[in-house]
Amino acid sequence: MQRTLIKNIDRLIGAYPAPPPLLRGKALQELPELRNAWLLIEDGRVADFGVAAENPPPRADEEIHAGGGSVLPAWVDSHTHLVFAAWREGEFVQRIQGRSYEEIARAGGGILNSAARLREMPEEQLFEQALQRLEEVRSMGTGAIEIKSGYGLSLEGELKMLRVIRHLKEVSEAPVKATFLGAHALPAAYRDRREAYIRLIIDEMLPRIADENLADYVDVFCERVAFSVSEMEEILEAFAKCGLKPKVHVNQFNAMGGVEAAVRHGAVSVDHLEVMSEQDLKILAKANTIATILPSAPFFLNDPYPPAREMVDRGLALALATDYNPGSSPSGRMAFSVSLACIKCGLLPAEALQAATVNGAHALELGAECGALARGMRADLIITKPIPSTGFLPYAFGSNWVDRVLLGA
Ligand code: NIG
Ligand code: FE
């Protein structure tokens, strides 16, 4: 058994006596913090922790001196599209010149642009690029991640993406969850045959995905520029028969009733939520479905931010993720999303940190494994440079305060 001790921790943040449940309301503010602490890891799992003055640190095979830095759980990024073939900085420039994201999408850019590039790229190269991005976000402290398909938009393309995600799962020690997003955009060839594309998803993609066990969740981009609520429901019903639960894109630009439908279909999470109706807030306050905000997308698109302050005050279970993708959030930096949640959405530092860790883990049904530091959980953590307080983390939005990332040490 390998025992590693981290000692001289100024602040041990997010260490719980037992794996925390999904957090809502005031509980989101109650981020545990111990001063002058140590943490013991056994075979990659948290074995024990304590305050040095009360409990002298135990012996271990290896000692890591935190050097007065603090320790917090690694991020759980519960919504990304990090498998893609090319960046889309050309559209970024077009938007600066006045075209909107929706306009570019309608003109065949956007997701369809990504799909065209992905079609040309061999699977191995797609994998190599995605692996680099996965390593990049791990070095910034992401310990578990969800990755979506959705730039394939054909049987072959979607299977190719899902195989790349499976390959990433195999080579990475970090937990990776795969989400099938065949209904991300309507391919141009189906412009006048929407129902035929839905049939392709249900009759041809679904059986292959189920047979080869290629996805953990199913997603639909429910939006005026993408798929309607009833199209989403048709897809969710079909995938439910194969045991795949929904995690869906809703309310990015319009509130169309997608939240209510997703909750009714037992969605694990509803993601984006920039535009929320009173009804949506009421439903989510009572539901088990997690409300996931992705504030780097409205930051990048210059859109309104989700009403996260109100969401927390009304008791929604809020999670926070990056949406890492080439079109609306070319950043997988969780620390920046945490800063935006505070600066632009009115969350307190403790709330944003818990949404990015504990609730992110629950949004991947990994609440017993990661997102917090409790005995038996994965010892995936960030050691910071010395910081004056926890609030400094979202405050110092441009600094790299990460000193070291330990994943399953
Ligand atoms: O979550 N909104 C839909 N999907 C992505 C963007 C995809 C893209 O533009 O490539 C999102 O923002
Ligand atoms: Fe997304």
Distance between Cα 209 and ligand 2 center (Å):
20
Counting from 1 in the atom list of ligand 1, the atom nearest the Cα of 297 is: 12
Task: Kindly identify the ligand whose nearest atom is closest to the C-alpha of 91.
Answer: 1
The domain segmentation of the chain, as residue ranges, is 3-72+371-407, 76-362
Over range 63-84, report the average pLDDT: 98
Whole-number average pLDDT of the chain:
97
Q: What is the pLDDT of residue 108?
A: 87
Assess whether the C-beta atom of 221 lies below 6 angstroms from ligand 1. yes
Per-residue pLDDT of 218-230, as tens digits, reads 999 999 989 999 9
Task: Kindly identify the ligand whose nearest atom is closest to the C-alpha of 185.
Answer: 1
CA contacts within 13 A on the Cβ side of 323:
28
* 409 confidence band (pLDDT: 50, 70, 90): low
CA contacts within 13 A on the Cβ side of 146:
33
Q: What is the pLDDT of residue 248?
A: 98
Assess whether the C-beta atom of 114 lies below 6 angstroms from ligand 1. yes
Distance between Cα 312 and ligand 1 center (Å):
24
Q: What is the pLDDT of residue 187?
A: 96
Over range 165-175, report the average pLDDT: 96
Over range 67-94, report the average pLDDT: 98
Counting from 1 in the atom list of ligand 1, the atom nearest the Cα of 110 is: 9
Per-residue pLDDT of 189-213, as tens digits, reads 999 999 999 999 999 999 999 999 9
Distances (CA, A) of 128 to 87, 167, 284, 353: 15, 10, 39, 31
Give the contacts of 399 (CB within 8 A, at least 6 positions apart).
Answer: none
Percent share of the chain, pLDDT over 70: 100
- Which protein residue's CA is at the shortest distance from atom 5 of ligand 1? 328
Assess whether the C-beta atom of 297 lies below 6 angstroms from ligand 1. yes
| Pairing relationship of beta strands 381-384 and 402-406 according to DSSP bridges | antiparallel
Counting from 1 in the atom list of ligand 1, the atom nearest the Cα of 221 is: 3
Assess whether the C-beta atom of 292 lies below 6 angstroms from ligand 1. no
CATH 3.20.20.140 fits 76-362, yes or no: yes
Q: What is the pLDDT of residue 385?
A: 98
Query: 82-86, 96-100, 106-110: lowest mean pLDDT where?
Result: 106-110
User: In the structure, how many helices (H) and strands (E) does the chain have?
Assistant: 16, 15
Per-residue pLDDT of 349-406, as tens digits, reads 999 999 999 999 999 999 999 999 999 999 999 999 999 999 999 999 999 999 999 9
Q: What is the pLDDT of residue 173?
A: 87
E-state strands within 74-138 = 75-77
Q: What is the pLDDT of residue 190?
A: 97
| Pairing relationship of beta strands 318-320 and 62-65 according to DSSP bridges | unpaired
Give the span between the Cα atoms of 99 and 302, in whole angstroms: 12
Q: What is the pLDDT of residue 134?
A: 98
Which uninterrupted H or E stretch holds 290?
Answer: strand 290-293
Task: Kindly identify the ligand whose nearest atom is closest to the C-alpha of 111.
Answer: 1
CATH 1.10.150.110 fits 3-72+371-407, yes or no: no
Task: Kindly identify the ligand whose nearest atom is closest to the C-alpha of 102.
Answer: 1
- Cβ atoms of residues 204 and 155 within 8 Å: yes
- Which protein residue's CA is at the shortest distance from atom 7 of ligand 1? 327
Assess whether the C-beta atom of 109 lies below 6 angstroms from ligand 1. no
Counting from 1 in the atom list of ligand 1, the atom nearest the Cα of 323 is: 1
- Cβ atoms of residues 402 and 382 within 8 Å: yes
Q: What is the pLDDT of residue 408?
A: 79
Note if the pTM is more than 0.85: yes
